[in-house]
Structure 1
Amino acid sequence: MRLWDANWMQVEAYLERDDRVVVPLGSTEQHGVLSLGTDAILCELAAAEAAAPLGIPVLPALPFGLTPTFTAYPGTINLREETFLALVRDVIDSLLEQGFRRVLLVNGHGGNLPAQRLAEEYESVRFHSWLIDPEIWGLAGEIDDVGHASWVENFAAVRLPGVEMPAGRKPVVAFAGVSDPAAVRELLGDGPSGGPYQRPEEDTRRVWDAAVELLRERLEWSER
């Protein structure tokens, strides 16, 4: 269940039978012609779908993350790392104080990986990147070239009304070592970092289903 679809009394009743909770970590950043909220929207949707059969509550996705290289694109919101980690820590601590004992941080943005180090400070917190987990990203790479804001993130939930989807594909651009936002924009142009803008629905669905299944396995919470 989504946390906002419950009241406090229902959450208290849930804690009498289970102690798991999901915290999606997103970002607000350029994704080409896709929504600026792509990382947060998809992360929360995947978490909610994975958790639904288990009845585990899913918090609203944190909408801001670490995205310093895309700040030359209007609408991108970047947090300082200390701000981001302090925010995530406060969320975790609030949940633990209320009786949650198994917290899964579900990450939807590559720049948020410092939160994995934070999770390791807690015995009761785990970290999982739902899309860029090597198993899922590798599966996507077997289908076609993948990159930021490419076909692998092109789901209906993040397409915008009245915005035409470009045809064709872009060559893959390696920009990981480029720290200057203006230089990154010069390299990426319209935003995606390579691969097709879109692929047939069965390809994106294959990746989505595998990602949700793996996320659900993480929620089974076997011993470390």
Structure 2
Amino acid sequence: MRIQDMHWGQVEKHVKEDDRCVLPIGSIEQHAYLSLATDMILAERVSVEAAEPLGVPVFPCLPYGMASGFADFPGTVTLSLRTYIGIIEDILDSLYHTGFRRILIVNGHGGNTPVNPVIGEWLNRNRDASVKLHDWWRAPKTMAKVLEIDPAASHASWMENFPWTRLEGAPIPNFQKERIDFAATARVDAGRKRERIAEGNYHGVFQRPDEDMLAIWKVGVEETRYEIENGWH
């Protein structure tokens, strides 16, 4: 269930019976011809679909993350590490204050993974809580399904081209892009990175049949649901 569909009294009652909740986190950044909000859209949607049959509340996705490498692509919003640390800590403190003790963070953006040590430090201050960080798109079973379909998959390529990340009136090309030089893009500023990655796809075709995408999505939802249900102790 979405937390936006509950009032405070319902949450107060719910948390006395089940102290789990889900917090999706994403990013607003370039995704070639796909929505700038791709990471946010996918993280929240996979969380909601995974949690729905379990009756576990899902908070709205934290839309902004750390995306400094894409700062020169218009529409990208990036937070500094120091700001992001504070936001994550404040959100976890709020969830804990409400009574949630088992918190699954469903991440949709690779640049957010530096949050791991923040979670560790927070848990040392709140020792009766459990927090898990679940990178849904590269979780073992989901990534295995991606690679089974097409091993040439990366940021802004076909693997993020779901029906709900496409844009009306934004045609998507149909060719396979060569793999970018990751080392060369990692050592330069956002301006030179933009020049080196062009439209933003890292490598692979831009689109695949919806049948393939829905097969991946099914695995991603199931794997996320497993994380909500298991592995808390």
TM over 0.5: yes
Alignment of 1:26-175 (within 5 A): 26-121=26-121, 122=123, 123-144=129-150, 145-175=152-182
Please tell me whether residue 21 in structure 1 is matched to residue 21 in structure 2. yes
Give the CA deviation at 1:97. 0.9
Which residue of 193, 198, 208 maps to 1:199? 208
User: Would the aligned equivalents of 1:25 and 1:61 in 2 still touch at CA under 8 Å?
Assistant: yes
Q: Secondary structure at the match of 2:105?
A: strand
Which runs of 4 or more aligned residues in structure 1 lie more than 6 Å from their structure 2 counterparts after TM superposition?
A: none
Q: CA deviation at 1:3?
A: 0.8
Q: CA contact under 8 A between 2:25 and 2:105: conserved in structure 1? A: yes
The 1:166–1:56 alpha-carbon spacing in structure 2 relative to 1, beyond 3 Å, is: same
CA deviations over 1:22-59 (Å, ceiling 9, x no partner): 01010000001111000001100000000001000111
Distance in structure 1 (CA, Å) of the matches to 2:231 and 2:70: 37
Q: What letter corresponds to residue 47 of structure 2 in structure 1?
A: A
Q: Measure the CA separation in 2 of the matches of 1:85 and 1:36.
A: 23
Q: Is the contact made by 1:110 and 1:132 (CA closer than 8 Å) also made in structure 2? A: no
User: Does the 8 A contact of 2:141 with 2:219 survive in 1?
Assistant: no
Q: Using the alignment, how far apart are the partners of 1:205 and 1:168 within structure 2?
A: 21
CA distance in 2, matches of 1:73, 1:136: 29
Q: Is the 8 A contact 2:102 2:232 kept in 1?
A: no
% same residue = 44
> What SS does the aligned partner of 2:217 have?
helix
CA distance in 2, matches of 1:222, 1:147: 29
CA distance in structure 2 between the aligned counterparts of 1:72 and 1:66, rounded to whole angstroms: 13
Q: Which amino acid letter does the alignment assign opposite residue 56 of structure 1?
A: V
TM (normalized to structure 1)? 0.95
* Offset from partner CA, 1:152-172 (integer Å, 9 cap, x none): 110111111111111122112
Q: Which moved more, 1:75-84 or 1:121-130?
A: 121-130
Q: What amino acid is the match of 1:197?
A: F
Give the match for residue 126 of structure 2: none
1:218 aligns to what? 227
Gaps of 5+ in 2: 124-128
> How far, CA to CA, are the matches of 2:136 and 2:98 in structure 1?
26
* Structure 1 unaligned spans of 5+: none
More off after superposition, 123-132 vs 63-72: 123-132
TM-score normalised to the size of structure 2? 0.92
